[in-house]
Structure 1
Amino acid sequence: MEEIFSKVVNQVFNNWTGLKLAVEHSLGGSNSLQVANDIKDYMVKYCLYESNVQVEDIQDALDDIMDEEFNTICEDNSTKDISIILFRFLQLIRENNLAQLEIEMNSLPTASSEWLTVSTCSKLNSSCQDTVAAQRHESEISEETPMEQDSEWTTVKSKKKR
């Protein structure tokens, strides 16, 4: 149940422009992507395990999280739209209507690129830390390595006209 709902939340959050912009502009600090993934994991658990959760509760949670974590207020009512979608899928899961869930999940828009990770670590364990450290090391090496100059390129200088 949690795995299915996690896929739904992942797909919805990958299409959420407000969250994506908050992460791209590092409004949650230097680890905005990790914050977004933690929010995604939190919302899965909140929706599934909070007793009698309603659309308004999900919207309030999303509004509070966006404000507290990203200092962002979504004036486009996207938190309301997202909470309605999440609540609908939550109902389908609780009714064990997996056929309809699959149909509706396939009708959701797909993100042009998945910028949120599919599986995240709510607490960084050693394997996650090693992966993050390796990615940082690779990016540092690529930044430090100067580009080779192509011998076929020539520099053209313009003459100054008087």
Structure 2
Amino acid sequence: MEEAFAKVVQHVFSNWTALKLAVENCMGGPNSKQTAVECMNYMVQYCLFEPGVDAMQIEEALEDILDEEFDTVCEDGSPKEVAMIFFKFLQLIKEGDMQQYEIEYEKLPVMNSEWFNQAKVQTQQAVDADSSSSSEEEQTTPMDQDGWTEVKSRKRR
């Protein structure tokens, strides 16, 4: 039961644009990718083991996660859409209707987990670029005798 629902949560989270943008822009800090994975695990546990959970509670939990973990507020209605999908699959799993579960799962958009890897690579590249550009500045900015430093434009013409 948990594995089947975790598969759905991972699939939906990997296609959720709001979460994707929050991770790519490091809205959850430098470990945004790890935070997103932890949020997926939390949602699986919350939906499966919270007594009497409904779509509205799932939506509120998703909004809280985005707000608290990623400092993000969705105004596009996507938390409600995601909550409805989670609730539908949760009901199918709890009823034991795995045939309908498979039919509905096949209707989901193709899983796009590539952005997790891209977000991690982009974060590392940004850190590398910052450290290399600051060391270049330190080496190429000589100070005049009067204590002033001449700053030249870096434009390439």
Cα displacement (A) at 1:110 = 1.0
Alignment of 1:1-162 (within 5 A): 1-116=1-116
Using the size of structure 1 for normalisation, the TM-score is 0.70
1:84 offset after TM fit, Å? 0.2
Q: 1 CA distance for matches of 2:111 and 2:95? A: 27
Note the alpha carbon deviations across 1:62-103, whole angstroms, 9 max, x for none: 001100011000000000000000000000000000000001
Distance 1:83 1:76 in 2: 13
Structure 2 distance, partners of 1:53, 1:95, is 15
Q: 4+ runs of 1 displaced by more than 4 Å?
A: none
Structure 2: runs of 5 or more not aligned: 118-123, 133-157
Equivalent residues of 1:59, 1:79 under 8 A apart? yes
Secondary structure of the structure 1 residue equivalent to 2:75: coil
C-alpha contact 1:66 1:72 (8 A) present in aligned 2: yes
CA distance in 2, matches of 1:47, 1:54: 8
The count of corresponding residues between Structure 1 and Structure 2 is 120
SS at match of 1:27: coil
Q: What are the superposed Cα offsets for residues 109-138 of structure 1, whole Å, 9 maximum, x if unpaired?
A: 013444458xxxxxxxxxxxxxxxxxx8xx
User: Structure 1: which 5+ residue stretches go unaligned?
Assistant: 118-135, 145-162
String of CA shifts for 1:131-156, please: whole Å, max 9, x gaps. Answer: xxxxx8xxx8xxx9xxxxxxxxxxxx
Structure with greater helix share of residues: 2
| Aligned residue type for 2:94 | R
Structure with max Cα Rg: 2
